[in-house]
Amino acid sequence: MAHSRPSTIAIDGPAASGKTTLGGLLAERLGYLFFDTGVLYRAITWAAQGRGLNSSDEAALAALAAELKIDLEVPAVSDGRLYTVRVDGRDVTWEIRRAEVDREVSIVSAYPQVRRALLERQRAIAAGGRVVMAGRDIGTVVLPEAGLKIYLDASPEERARRRYLELRARGESADYQEILARMRQRDELDREREAAPLRPAPDAIVLFTDGLSIEETFAKVWALVENWRQRRGKIEVEEPG
């Protein structure tokens, strides 16, 4: 009997569009693994900065991407995190979210060699199914055969507001205008890069989330999951768990 839920779900979208929060909630509801591929690029950027590597040195960054040990674990502490990120055993969950990483992560993630170094690692994680994977090229490159593809979007102003509130909630200093300028710059880099530019997959469902709470966004996405078999020409739909 065919599955009544998609085995793999791809969630793409620009920075601060809500991919991580939505993906975590969806995976929890489904009993799936949630994997945010953005942490890989952030971890590499953070490690490169710590080792004094220049963000213009693509070959050195690709070598680092190939060798760096990055682990995602169940949250080790209750401080709002959806997972714990470890680099070579060190908890860097919040360190990779700092402004200095924000400023360079799009540069690092744009390099074809870096992306190639991480591609098979990402695909291997999804090989067993029952996974929700979030990023910027999941539906187009990493998992083009994903059962359900969602592209979350929101205006730069709304996304900057969310990031500002996130930083303030953690007790960090934040300037909205600076965040907005950085957000627009990152959008341009992500959409114009040569390797896997940010764009919706042709068969992705695009959700624009300005004015929507996370609960309202989740309700829309959950309806897509429930109706998945109907959308694929089937008639059976599994009741919510």
**Range of lowest pLDDT (48-62, 151-165, 218-232):** 218-232
Q: What is the pTM of this model?
A: 0.82
Please give the pLDDT value at position 241: 35
Non-local (6+) Cβ contacts of 170 within 8 A are 80, 94
pLDDT at 72: 83
Over residues 106-118, the pLDDT tens digits come to 899 999 999 999 9
Q: Which two tokens stand for residue 199?
A: 């764009």
Confidence at residue 106, expressed as pLDDT on a 0 to 100 scale: 87
Q: Which of 138, 181, 137, 135 is nearest to 159 (CA)?
A: 181
pLDDT of amino acid 1: 34
Q: What is the pLDDT of residues 16-43, one digit of tens each?
A: 899 989 999 999 999 998 999 999 999 9
| Mean pLDDT computed over 1-23 | 86
The candidate with the shortest Cα–Cα distance to 26, out of 234, 209, 224, 202, is 224
The predicted structure's pLDDT at residue 161: 95
Residue-level pLDDT at 239: 34
d(CA 161, CA 159): 5
Alpha-carbon 123 to chain mean position: 14
| Ordered DSSP codes for the chain | ---SS-SEEEEE-STTSSHHHHHHHHHHHHT-EEEETHHHHHHHHHHHHHTT--TT-HHHHHHHHHH--EEEES-SS-SS-SSEEEETTEE-TTGGGSHHHHHHHHHHHT-HHHHHHHHHHHHHHHTTS-EEEEESSIIIII-TT-SEEEEEE--HHHHHHHHHHHHHHTT----HHHHHHHHHHHHHHHHH-SSS-S---TTPEEEE-TT--HHHHHHHHHHHHHTHHHHTT----PPP-
State the pLDDT confidence band at 231, using cuts at 50, 70 and 90. Answer: low
Distance between CA atoms of 163 and 142, rounded to whole angstroms? 26
pLDDT value of position 193: 86
Domains, the chain: 8-228 (3.40.50.300)
Residue the block writes with tokens 């390099």? 111
pLDDT tens, residue by residue, 141-186: 999 999 999 999 999 999 999 999 988 988 888 999 999 999 999 8
Using the predicted structure, report yes or no on whether residue 234 has a pLDDT greater than 60: no
